[in-house]
């Protein structure tokens, strides 16, 4: 079916479904929902904030009947353009699906609506000494529905896994409008296909998640934080390996390379040795005594690997000052160049040194400033290309560097994206990692569930370079 | 905080926002209404679209820009150092100069600010109509709507206009001491609604041995006009204030209004420069501005309440609310805390989200009273959860709004005090048990007398 623009009759029907207070096609509102954290702009034709699954179901049925695209949107913090309306149509937000339905202390689960902010759930369950581990850096402002749709990770993934590992069951509105229920409240369930896993990470292309049953765990009693630095990247990587084989699983194992250290140096309360080429931020959690012992063991491990600095924190303030190294990267980077292209490639843990070295070579060859940091514990490195959008030549060089980076990653047995998703950002490169037949299976699944291709079209394998023409640009640019 | 030199911030700086969304986590308005127009990210997107002439500055753009408390939380949280607060003010200015202010707003502005005189007149007239604008007027009588006054929104509890305005009662050199010469910048709220707060301030400043002057012809700091985009008006007010304060050859100028302080410290420099005032004169004014907490903290023992520190049932439990324009904008956070903590008979109990906006935001609470109430309800919840008998803060506007919220939520028994109220009362009332109820100012003489004897 050919997708059309939203006609006036269709708009009227949408108004009737969600109420005219909960939708808009005024120009201001369209500009308010034209972007996500990828920071590109595509205008939708209308924005709707439905109240529940049944309204969403009516909208999706209408979309099939009248032929218009529907793009689900959580908090719009996606970094790969997942919620951009690249083909126009309707933006459908989950902003009103914002209730924590219930926290079950005994079974350690929580039912939530998909528009609940991750951090709000974390705060709520922690009041009951429970813990929701998935903690993307955007936790305080991204939705659980969006986290599930992107299968978001975060710095605790090294010990606790990613969003996928905490989703037990879903209520989903299918692209054709049926409201389905996947998974089970039982800890174990193998009844039928695992549709939960299919939908988690589907980037809003296979269904609109309206409710999630999430698994909780007991809240760790204590946390031990350490910051350590090494004169060589290789030593830091050796420390990472030795930590992971020391039979201690850290809850955080973050890495920063020399360029990242150089960026943040001025922001820190503590002195980083000038010869430091790599920095690790490590945390362990558990019962207080155990945490203490583990910190001592890890100090040994790091020193043996060649650590030239080992700093621990015993108060929340000290912990914050260690984390400052990690948290200041973003603002510090902005001082170098106004724009960063943030890639989140993942490689097998042992390949991190090769990746870092390769990236350094690319940076030199293409003459682009590149800063690396990220989740060393799970091999997910954030490679940041710093560019000035005004400098057209630099932009072009960065794009070539990007392609080099993806090729390098795949050659190391890695993945284009560890947690941010494909969206439109990485779609042109997906072929590097996924072979033709595998891609074709994905296409067939999509076609089977969304025969009219109304739900979030032109994302991931369905990408069309032509969409760039619809992007909004400043008139004079 | 990155409020370094911001005079050069322009309207098009909005495009430096990378749309990460971090600011939404701290935005009180977004907390109440999770739509893009609430937070700074959406506002940056709209301002960007206007600066690129993609949309007009009419209708909803205006409404959305004004749906903001100007609390600065976004500005502080932004990892990309986007000066959101300044950009939003610039956008309001541009809007005001272009298509004119919205009627409601310009009405308020005319009443409030056209000139200080006009304001005085409006408020004076208001006093005679006072009986007609509060809750006791039955909504059905229709009287409420017939006498709309600039500061009064719908069904809120507002303080009574003072019988005698502060600057009417006190003007000129009101106390002569051996110490430094200190001027009082009252601010409108103190002047018209809470003159006893101003009296308390005179008493406390005098207790340090300073000479105290209240320049009589001082006018509003101009913040409401600035948020309304009327930069030209504020410039005039700034010049007038500079003139009246200069005459007194002061060593410092203190204010008990967080918003005034923030405005005088941050905005007067550039404003006076625009008005063609030479640097040294500007510096002679702006560099002398101190919040009353800074002043008292520096003044030390003379104004500290001595005596035994008590805990538990013996003590008056208070909690502290950080006014946005004091904590965030002026970074005065430790001083009020230290002053309260040093006080005998008072126990400071922590409050969650103590630095989250109370929801007042100047005219915001008039135009968006519904959102303002919701933001305020969260503050009230946190205050009540703290278990405090009184909430202390340091801005008359916060006091007004928090008191309204406490009463609205059935917690009228919790007192709302300015730091200076608390200190004044403690200095004048050194009894072992502290009466929250009926706490009233004790009179300048009494305070000084007591302070002198300790
Ligand atoms: C500063 C910053 C830090 C970040 N840190 C991390 C990090 O550490 N780890 C990480 O993994 N990611 C991170 N991200 C990326 C982003 O926050 C995550 O991808 C997040 O999961 C997106 O959630 P959202 O609610 O913003 O979703 P959106 O951006 O609104 O949408 C993302 C995708 O999910 C779809 N979607 C949203 N809601 C639903 C729903 N209810 N049903 C179906 N589909 C839906 C959309 O169509 C879109 O394709 C970060 C982003 C920022 C800006
Ligand atoms: S100033 Fe306060 S209310 Fe306004 S957008 Fe920023 S955080 Fe929100
Ligand atoms: S935090 Fe800063 S950069 Fe991020 S969206 Fe808000 S204003 Fe823009
Ligand atoms: S800040 Fe508000 S109350 Fe204080 S003087 Fe200015 S306008 Fe008046």
Taking CA atoms only, the protein residue closest to ligand 3 atom 1 is B78
- Site residues for ligand 1, CB cut-off 6 Å: A 36-37, 71-79, 82-83, 94, 114, 136-138, 142-143, 145-147, 149-150, 152-154, 203-204, 208-209, 419-420, 456; B 20-22
Convert the pLDDT of each residue in B355-364 to its tens digit.
Answer: 999 998 877 8
User: Mean per-residue pLDDT for A353-373?
Assistant: 93
Helices B444-453, B419-428: axis angle to 10 degrees equals 60
Strands A167-173 and A109-113: unpaired
Tell me whether residue A310 is exposed, middle or buried, using C-beta atoms within 10 angstroms of its C-beta: 0 to 12, 13 to 18, 19 or more: middle
- Using an 8 Å Cβ cutoff, are A67 and A28 in contact? no
Mean pLDDT of chain B: 79
- Using an 8 Å Cβ cutoff, are B282 and B273 in contact? yes
How far is A475 from chain B, CA to nearest CA, in Å? 7
pLDDT of residue B3: 47
**CA-closest candidate to residue B379, choices B339, B341, B324, B427:** B324
- Using an 8 Å Cβ cutoff, are B358 and B255 in contact? no
Mutate to test the pocket of ligand 4, among B220, B226, B233, B253 (most ligand atoms within 8 A of CB): B220
pLDDT of residue B9: 75
- Site residues for ligand 4, CB cut-off 6 Å: B 187-189, 220-221, 223-224, 257, 259-260
* Distance in angstroms (rounded) separating the CA atoms of residues B273 and B282: 7
How far is B149 from chain A, CA to nearest CA, in Å? 30
Chain A residues 10-49 within an 8 A CB cutoff of chain B: 26-29, 31-39, 49
* Distance in angstroms (rounded) separating the CA atoms of residues A171 and A210: 6
**Helix or strand or coil: residue A47?**
strand
CB contact under 8 A, A77 and B25: no
**Which chain B residues contact residue A29 at CB under 8 A?**
37, 60
> Ligand 1: distance of its center to the CA of B105 in Å?
38
**Which chain A residues contact residue B35 at CB under 8 A?**
32, 49, 95
**Cross-strand pairs, B181:** B211
* Distance in angstroms (rounded) separating the CA atoms of residues A157 and A136: 9
* Distance in angstroms (rounded) separating the CA atoms of residues A22 and A24: 7
> Ligand 3: distance of its center to the CA of B77 in Å?
8
Taking CA atoms only, the protein residue closest to ligand 2 atom 2 is B71
Taking CA atoms only, the protein residue closest to ligand 2 atom 4 is B68
* Distance in angstroms (rounded) separating the CA atoms of residues B225 and B105: 10
How far is B12 from chain A, CA to nearest CA, in Å? 12
Residue in B21, B37, B55 closest to A75 by CB: B21
Question: Among the atoms of ligand 3, which is closest to the Cα of residue B20?
Answer: 4
Q: Phi/psi of residue A88, each to 5°?
A: 75, -150
What's the pLDDT band for A93 if we cut at 50, 70, 90?
very high
CB contact under 8 A, A29 and B37: yes
Q: Is B78 in the pocket of ligand 3 (CB under 6 A)?
A: yes
Convert the pLDDT of each residue in A196-253 to its tens digit.
Answer: 999 999 999 999 999 999 999 999 999 999 999 999 988 998 999 999 889 999 999 9
Determine which of B12, B26, B34, B60 to mutate to test the interface with A (most A C-beta atoms within 10 Å): B34
pLDDT at B234 over 60: yes
- Using an 8 Å Cβ cutoff, are B252 and B180 in contact? yes
**Which chain B residues contact residue A26 at CB under 8 A?**
59-60
* Distance in angstroms (rounded) separating the CA atoms of residues B353 and A12: 42
Is any Cβ of chain B less than 8 angstroms from the Cβ of A85?
A: no
> Which of A208-217, B106-115, B230-239, B443-452 is predicted most confidently?
A208-217
* Distance in angstroms (rounded) separating the CA atoms of residues A459 and A204: 9
> Ligand 4: distance of its center to the CA of A33 in Å?
36
Q: Is B17 in the pocket of ligand 3 (CB under 6 A)?
A: yes
Q: How far is Cα of residue A345 from the mean position of the Cα atoms in its chain?
A: 12
Q: Is B60 in the pocket of ligand 3 (CB under 6 A)?
A: no
What's the pLDDT band for A365 if we cut at 50, 70, 90?
very high
What burial letters (b/e) apply to A177-207, b meaning 16+ CB within 10 Å? bebeebbeeeeeeeeeeebbeebbbbbbbbb
> Ligand 2: distance of its center to the CA of B361 in Å?
10
pLDDT of residue B5: 46
Cα Rg for chain B, rounded, in angstroms? 21
3-state SS, chain B, equals: CCCCCCCCCCHHHHHHCCCCCHHHHCCHHHHHCCCCCCCHHHHHHHHHHHHCCCCCCCHHHHHHHHCCCCCCHHHHHCCCCCCHHHHHHHHHHHHHHHHCCCHHHHHHHHHHCCCHHHHHHHHHHHHHHHHHCCCCCCHHHCHHHHCCCCCCCCCCCCCCCCCCCHHHHCCEEEECCCCCEEEEECCHHHHHHCHHHHHHHHHHHHHCCCEEEECCCCCCCCHHHHHCCCHHHHHHHHHHHHHHHHCCCCCEEEECCHHHHHHHHHCHHHHHHHCCCCHHHHHHHHCCEEEHHHHHHHHHHHHCCCCCCCCHHHCEEEEECCCHHHHHHHCCCHHHHHHHHCCCCEEECCCCCCCCCCCCCCCHHHHCHHHHHHHHHHHHHHHHHHCCCEEEECCHHHHHHHHHHHHHCCCCCCEEEEHHHHHHHHHHCCCCCCCCCCCCCCCHHHHHHHHHHC
pLDDT of residue B8: 67
- Locate B395 and state its tokens: 């801005």
- Using an 8 Å Cβ cutoff, are A121 and A138 in contact? no
**CA-closest candidate to residue A418, choices A382, A464, A393:** A382
pLDDT of residue B369: 86
How far is A372 from chain B, CA to nearest CA, in Å? 18
Mean pLDDT of chain A: 94
Strands A222-230 and A217-218: unpaired
Higher per-residue confidence, A17 vs A155: A17
Neighbours of B91 (CB within 10 A): 24
pLDDT at A442 over 90: yes
Q: How many CA atoms lie within 13 A of A381 on its CB side?
A: 31
Question: Among the atoms of ligand 3, which is closest to the Cα of residue B24?
Answer: 6
pLDDT of residue B49: 95
Ligand nearest to the CA of A152: 1
Ligand nearest to the CA of A327: 1
User: Mean per-residue pLDDT for B390-409?
Assistant: 93
- Locate A177 and state its tokens: 């409008």
Q: What is the largest CA-CA distance in chain A?
A: 71
Residue in B25, B59, B81 closest to A140 by CB: B25
Chain B residues 65-124 within an 8 A CB cutoff of chain A: 79-81
What is this model's ipTM?
0.94
- Using an 8 Å Cβ cutoff, are B116 and B240 in contact? yes
pLDDT of residue B12: 80
> Ligand 1: distance of its center to the CA of A135 in Å?
12
Neighbours of A95 (CB within 10 A): 18
- Using an 8 Å Cβ cutoff, are A204 and A149 in contact? yes
The size of chain B, in residues, is 454
pLDDT of residue B436: 27
Neighbours of B260 (CB within 10 A): 27
- Locate A189 and state its tokens: 């369930």
Is any Cβ of chain A less than 8 angstroms from the Cβ of B385?
A: no
Residue in A31, A115, A474 closest to B46 by CB: A31
Ligand nearest to the CA of B32: 2
Chain B residues 14-53 within an 8 A CB cutoff of chain A: 16, 18-22, 24-25, 34-37, 42, 45-46, 49, 52-53
Residue in B20, B34, B52 closest to A37 by CB: B20
What's the pLDDT band for B298 if we cut at 50, 70, 90?
confident
- Locate B328 and state its tokens: 């965030």
Taking CA atoms only, the protein residue closest to ligand 3 atom 8 is B17
**CA-closest candidate to residue B31, choices B360, B372, B324, B351:** B372
* Distance in angstroms (rounded) separating the CA atoms of residues A416 and A427: 10
Q: How far is Cα of residue B241 from the mean position of the Cα atoms in its chain?
A: 18
Ligand nearest to the CA of A93: 1
**Cross-strand pairs, A369:** A386
Q: How far is CA A202 from CA A315, A422, A428, A446, A452, in A?
A: 40, 10, 17, 10, 17
Question: Among the atoms of ligand 2, which is closest to the Cα of residue B77?
Answer: 7
- Using an 8 Å Cβ cutoff, are B295 and B267 in contact? no
> Ligand 4: distance of its center to the CA of A200 in Å?
52
Taking CA atoms only, the protein residue closest to ligand 3 atom 4 is B20
pLDDT at A339 over 50: yes
Mutate to test the pocket of ligand 3, among B24, B82, B86 (most ligand atoms within 8 A of CB): B82
- Predicted TM-score (pTM) of the model is 0.88
In the DSSP assignment, the letter for residue A346 is B
Is any Cβ of chain A less than 8 angstroms from the Cβ of B128?
A: no
pLDDT of residue B142: 32
Is any Cβ of chain B less than 8 angstroms from the Cβ of A472?
A: yes
> Ligand 4: distance of its center to the CA of A88 in Å?
46
pLDDT at B100 over 70: no
Lowest mean pLDDT among A349-363, B93-107, B198-212, B266-280: B93-107
CB contact under 8 A, B59 and A28: yes
């Amino acid at each position: 079916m050919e997708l059309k623009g939203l006609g006036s009759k269709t708009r009227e029907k949408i108004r009737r479904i969600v109420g005219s207070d909960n939708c808009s096609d005024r120009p201001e509102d369209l500009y308010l929902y034209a972007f996500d954290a990828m920071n590109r702009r595509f205008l939708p034709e209308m924005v709707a904030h439905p109240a529940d699954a049944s309204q969403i179901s009516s909208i999706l049925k209408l979309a099939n009947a009248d032929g218009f695209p529907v793009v689900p949107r959580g908090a719009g913090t996606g970094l790969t353009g997942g919620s951009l309306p690249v083909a126009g149509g309707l933006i459908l937000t989950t902003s009103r699906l914002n209730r924590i339905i219930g926290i079950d202390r005994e079974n350690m689960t929580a039912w939530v609506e998909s528009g609940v902010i991750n951090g709000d759930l974390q705060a709520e369950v922690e009041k009951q000494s429970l813990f929701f581990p998935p903690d993307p850096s955007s936790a305080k402002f991204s939705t659980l529905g969006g986290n599930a749709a992107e299968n978001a990770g975060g710095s605790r993934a090294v010990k606790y896994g990613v969003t996928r590992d905490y989703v037990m069951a879903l209520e989903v509105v299918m692209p054709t409008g049926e409201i389905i229920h996947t998974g089970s409240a039982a800890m174990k369930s193998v009844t039928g296909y695992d549709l939960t896993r299919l939908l988690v990470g589907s980037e809003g292309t296979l269904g609109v998640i309206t409710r999630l049953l999430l698994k909780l765990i007991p809240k760790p009693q204590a946390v031990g934080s350490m910051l350590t630095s090494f004169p060589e990247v290789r030593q830091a990587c050796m420390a990472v390996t030795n930590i992971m084989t020391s039979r201690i699983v850290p809850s955080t194992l973050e890495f920063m390379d020399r360029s990242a250290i150089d960026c943040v140096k001025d922001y820190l309360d503590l002195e980083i040795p000038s010869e430091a080429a790599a920095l690790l931020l490590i945390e362990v959690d558990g019962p207080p005594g155990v945490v203490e012992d583990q910190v001592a063991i890890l100090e040994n491990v790091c020193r043996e690997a060649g650590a030239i600095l080992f700093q621990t924190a015993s108060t929340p303030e000290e912990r914050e000052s260690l984390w400052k190294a990690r948290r200041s990267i973003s603002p510090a980077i902005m001082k170098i160049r106004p724009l960063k292209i943030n890639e989140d490639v993942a490689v097998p843990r042992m390949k991190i040194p090769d990746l870092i070295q390769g990236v350094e070579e690319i940076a030199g060859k293409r003459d682009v400033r590149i800063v690396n940091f990220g989740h060393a514990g799970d091999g997910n490195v954030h490679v940041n290309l710093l560019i000035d959008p005004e400098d057209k030549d630099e932009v072009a060089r960065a794009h070539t560097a990007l392609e080099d980076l993806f090729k390098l990653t795949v050659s190391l047995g890695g993945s284009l994206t560890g947690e941010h998703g494909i969206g439109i950002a990485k779609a042109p490169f997906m072929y590097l990692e996924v072979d033709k037949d595998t891609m074709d299976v994905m296409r067939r699944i999509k076609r089977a569930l969304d025969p009219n291709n109304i739900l979030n079209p032109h994302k991931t394998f369905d990408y069309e370079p032509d969409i760039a023409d619809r992007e909004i640009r400043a008139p004079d640019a | 905080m990155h409020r370094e030199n911001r005079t050069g911030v322009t309207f098009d700086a909005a495009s430096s926002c990378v749309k990460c969304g971090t600011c939404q986590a701290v935005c009180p308005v977004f907390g109440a209404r999770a739509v893009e127009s609430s937070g700074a990210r959406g506002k940056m997107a709209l301002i960007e679209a206007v600066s690129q002439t993609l949309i007009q500055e009419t209708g909803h753009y205006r409404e959305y820009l004004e749906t903001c408390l100007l609390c600065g939380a976004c500005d502080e949280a932004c990892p990309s150092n986007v000066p959101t607060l300044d950009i939003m003010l610039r956008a309001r200015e541009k809007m005001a100069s272009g298509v004119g202010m919205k009627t409601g707003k310009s009405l308020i502005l005319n009443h409030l600010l056209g000139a200080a005189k006009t304001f005085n007149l409006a408020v004076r007239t208001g006093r005679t109509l006072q009986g007609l604008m509060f809750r006791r007027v039955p909504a059905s009588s229709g009287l409420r709507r017939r006498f709309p006054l600039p500061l009064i929104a719908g069904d809120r509890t507002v303080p009574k206009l003072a019988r005698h305005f502060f600057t009417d009662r006190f003007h000129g050199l009101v106390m002569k001491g051996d110490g430094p010469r200190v001027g009082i910048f009252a601010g409108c709220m103190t002047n018209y609604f809470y003159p006893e707060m101003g009296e308390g301030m005179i008493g406390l400043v005098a207790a340090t041995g300073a000479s105290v002057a209240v320049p009589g012809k001082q006018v509003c700091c101009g913040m409401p006009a600035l948020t309304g985009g009327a930069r030209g008006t504020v410039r005039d007010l700034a010049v007038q204030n500079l003139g009246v304060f200069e005459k007194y050859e002061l060593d410092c100028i203190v204010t008990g209004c967080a918003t005034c302080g923030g405005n005088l410290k941050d905005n007067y420099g550039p404003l006076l420069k625009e008005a063609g005032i030479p640097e040294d004169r500007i510096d002679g004014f702006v560099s002398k501005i101190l919040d009353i907490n800074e002043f008292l903290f520096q003044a030390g023992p003379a104004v500290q309440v001595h005596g035994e520190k008590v805990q538990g049932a013996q003590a008056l439990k208070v909690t502290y609310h950080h006014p946005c324009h004091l904590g965030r904008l002026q970074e005065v956070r430790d001083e009020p805390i230290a002053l309260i903590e040093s006080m005998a008979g008072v126990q400071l109990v922590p409050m969650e989200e103590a630095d989250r906006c109370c929801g007042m935001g100047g005219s915001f609470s008039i135009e968006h009273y519904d959102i303002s109430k919701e933001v305020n309800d969260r503050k009230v919840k946190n205050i009540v959860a703290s278990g405090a008998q009184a909430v202390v803060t340091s801005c008359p506007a916060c006091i007004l709004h928090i008191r309204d919220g406490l009463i609205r939520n059935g917690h009228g028994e919790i007192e709302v005090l300015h730091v200076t109220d608390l200190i004044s009362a403690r200095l004048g009332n050194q009894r072992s048990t502290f009466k929250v109820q009926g706490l009233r100012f004790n009179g300048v003489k009494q305070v000084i007398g007591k302070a002198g004897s300790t």
